[in-house]
Amino acid sequence: MIGKLKGVIDSYGEDYVILDVHGVGYVVQCSARTLQKLPRAGEAAILSIETQVREDAIRLFGFMSEAERDWFRLLQTVQGVGSKVALAILGVLGPGELASAVAMQDKTAVVRAQGVGPKLAARIVAELKDKAPSFGSVDPLVAKLAGEDEDKAAPTAVRDAISALVNLGYGRPQAAAAVAASVKALGEEAQASALIRQGLKELAS
């Protein structure tokens, strides 16, 4: 089994990359998020690999980190989630975001992925809830801020910043994670406007 590939990007397809490893071109399927993070053709890249062997084919799936690969495996333990849907979910949610979404039972975040309806999203967050902590650390501050009941003890600036990001279309766990990171970067006394600006930078990174 192939667990990792280190080589040079040969070319890109719609949902895959061809990685040249010592003259052998491996076709590696990747999520949209991973494809965006990979370098241009001709540059070096390293991918964690999940190998799936079927009767009629051997398929390689590539990831930027082992955590992303672990989530790819974990998602497929849910009935109705195959490799295509798992990649679609990882295309819109990174490992940390997915861990937070599952921990917070945020079906809205998961349903953003192509091919995932409300029922499947509900099944995913329900079945994986107990396993989420094993695959992604959920910041205590994120958990506190992203709870279903708005935390009244949080500073007004923090609540306002989260609310603003949610109004811009981000899921509450993602908004809470971005603001939590912003608080750590700017300090607890930061104003809402500063937290929003920093939060948008965190979400764009």
pLDDT tier at 202, thresholds 50, 70, 90: confident
C-alpha–C-alpha distance, residues 2 and 174, integer Å: 33
**pLDDT averaged over the chain?**
85
Element housing 24 (H / E) = strand 24-29
- Binned at pLDDT 50, 70 and 90, residue 149 comes out as very low
At residue 158, the pLDDT reads 86
Least confident stretch, 73-77, 117-121, 124-128, 130-134: 130-134
- Structural domains in the chain, CATH included, are 4-63 (2.40.50.140), 67-135 (1.10.150.20), 140-204 (no CATH)
Residue 28 has pLDDT above 70, yes or no: yes
What is the average per-residue pLDDT within 95-124? 87
User: What pLDDT, on a 0 to 100 scale, did the predictor assign at position 60?
Assistant: 97
> Mean pLDDT lowest for which of 78-87, 131-140, 160-169, 179-188?
131-140
pTM over the 0.85 mark? no
The share of the chain scoring above pLDDT 90, in percent, equals: 51
pLDDT band at 148; cut points 50, 70, 90: very low
Read off the pLDDT of residues 31-58 as tens digits, 9 standing for 90 and up.
999 999 999 999 999 999 999 998 888 9
C-alpha separations of 190 from 79, 146, 172, 203 in Å: 44, 19, 20, 18
- Of 107, 103, 114, the C-alpha closest to 145 is 103
SS3 for 110-160, per residue? HCCCCCCCHHHHHHHHHHHCCCHHHHCCCCHHHHHHCCCCCCCCCCHHHHH
Please tell me whether residue 152 adopts helix, strand or coil conformation.
coil
More confident residue, 181 or 84: 84
Q: What's the one-letter identity of residue 185?
A: A
Query: Which comes out higher in pLDDT, residue 152 or 81?
Result: 81
